[in-house]
Amino acid sequence: MALVPCQVLRVAILLSYCSILCNYKAIEMPSHQTYGGSWKFLTFIDLVIQAVFFGICVLTDLSSLLTRGSGNQEQERQLKKLISLRDWMLAVLAFPVGLFVVAVFWIIYAYDREMIYPKLLDNFIPGWLNHGM
């Protein structure tokens, strides 16, 4: 029942997303005080989707480790449901939204940085947090 490197990687990714979320929410920005708060930004929504997705991945890995070899049909059926939820979330939410956010952000950033990420935001958001998001 040893951990596989991909399972350890999923835990590390989940922890990094959670730390980025905590650091982002701790920043006092004027836009967070207006209507919708940080939920009006597609980048933040994508970050939450990715964190939930990797949380489900870790839960699936833990469930498969705990139910391996038990022979219980009910546990295997629940594990299959969890795996199908994980696969659905990747195909419908995590991958398309993540790809769209990254592609659109960097295309607009390369075209005109001030349009999508003004230099004023450098005072609020550190560079490592921007690249992490």
Q: What is the pLDDT along the chain (133 residues), one digit of tens a residue?
A: 456 777 788 888 888 888 877 777 767 766 667 777 777 888 888 988 998 998 998 889 888 888 877 778 888 898 899 999 999 999 999 999 999 999 998 899 899 988 888 888 888 777 777 777 6
3-state secondary structure of 5: helix
Cα–Cα distance for residue pair 77/74, rounded to 1 Å: 5
CA 82 to chain centre: 18
Tokens of 114: 């001030």
Instruction: Name the nearest CA neighbour of 76 among 88, 60, 89, 91.
Output: 60
Q: Is 79 exposed, middle or buried (0-12, 13-18, 19+ CB in 10 A)?
A: middle
Structure tokens, 10: 């999923």
pTM assigned to the model: 0.78
SS3 (DSSP) at 91: helix
